[in-house]
Amino acid sequence: MSRTPLIAGNWKMFKTGPEAVAEATRLVELASGVANTDIMIAPTLLSLPLVSGAVAGSNVKLGVQNLFYENEGAYTGEVSAGMAKAAGAEYAIIGHSERRQYFGETDDAVCKKVKASIDGGIIPILCIGETEAQRDEEKTFSVLDKQITNGLNSFCSRDLDPLVLAYEPVWAIGTGKTATPEQVAEIHEYIRSLINRLFGNELAMSIRILYGGSVKPDNVSELMSLGDVDGALVGGASLDADAFIQIIRYDR
Ligand code: PGA
């Protein structure tokens, strides 16, 4: 089964509104004509409506970096899937390690957010990954197993059709340390076999599994050549349209 690659940029807490619009406008120019690859950027929530105008009608789609699982209510500082969608988001990054680490996000909350995304018509990109200490203690597989099992608790495979997974070893995020192709291949294969075990072969074959963690123009081709790698979630190198387009055009 062929899976359309997804190259997603997580802009984290960078760029003001005008800066985000300028970068997105440049990316739209550079990416016009790119076919057979899905492209997404996730600016800050404040920039989202502005950037939405800049990418309208192009092949650059938008995402949010987080959302809350209730539709509306007294939840200071949060936005819902419906609000994100109304502002132009088609994707939501869920359970990024920075949210887990700095904002106490649990697998239980992650699971509710995945459900809220799917119910709200937003494609969730569920992030999973082990810390350096967990890898050193040889807990990588059990950590991933728990994050996936609990993060997708009580779903059935039919509901998970839109789901995207992103394997992001925490020790590789923003550090310049990329996991080796052997490490990435081993983990992605494990994740796909876990999805097979939990939800069956059809979902396991169709689900896109992205790699994230210091993806750059000079390492993307090797990562994307691995059979179970279906795209990349890119932080630092997505902030500059000229670098990001080289990642998007990894096979050219
Ligand atoms: P990085 O970030 O590319 O800067 O390592 C990846 C991510 O956090 O998604």
Going from the N-terminus, what domains does the chain have, and what CATH number goes with each?
6-248 (3.20.20.70)
Mutate to test the pocket of ligand 1, among 211, 215, 239 (most ligand atoms within 8 A of CB): 215
Chain-centroid distance of CA 204 in Å reads: 17
pLDDT at 157: 80
Does the beta carbon of 210 lie inside 6 Å of ligand 1? no
173 lines ligand 1 (CB under 6 A): yes
Q: Catalytic pick from 98, 130, 168, 188?
A: 168
Residues of the chain with pLDDT below 70 are 1, 252
Report the pLDDT value the prediction gives residue 1, as an integer from 0 to 100: 61
Q: Is 23 known to be catalytic?
A: no
Tokens of 166: 């992103």
Work out whether strand 38-42 and strand 164-167 pair parallel, antiparallel, or are unpaired: unpaired
Contacts of 155 (CB under 8 A, 6+ apart): 114, 115, 199
- Cβ(234) – ligand 1 distance below 6 Å: yes
| Mean pLDDT score of the chain | 96
For residue 220, how far is its CA from the centre of ligand 1 (angstroms)?
13
- What is the tens place of the pLDDT at every residue in 69-83? 999 999 999 999 999
Cβ neighbours of residue 38 closer than 8 Å, sequence gap 6 or more: 4, 5, 6, 7, 61, 231
- Any atom of ligand 1 within 6 Å of the Cβ of 215: yes
Atom of ligand 1 nearest to the CA of 166: 9
Catalytic hit among 96, 98, 105, 188: 96
Could you tell me which residues come within 8 angstroms of residue 76 by beta carbon, excluding any fewer than 6 positions away? none
User: Ligand 1 centre and the CA of 214: distance in Å?
Assistant: 6
Going from the Cα of 74 to the center of ligand 1, the distance in angstroms, rounded, reads 32
**70 classed as catalytic:** no
The C-alpha atoms of residue 16 and residue 19 are separated, in whole angstroms, by 5
pTM for the full predicted model: 0.97
- Is the shortest distance between the CB of 63 and ligand 1 below 6 Å? no
Q: Is 170 left (phi over 0), alpha (psi -120 to 50) or beta?
A: alpha
Determine the distance separating the centroid of ligand 1 and the alpha carbon of 171, expressed in angstroms: 10
**Three state DSSP letters for 37-92:** CEEEEECCCCCHHHHHHHHCCCCEEEEECCCECCCCCCCCCCCEHHHHHHCCEEEE
Other beta carbons within 10 Å of 57: 6
Proportion of the chain above pLDDT 70, given as a percent: 99
Per-residue model confidence (pLDDT) at position 104:
97
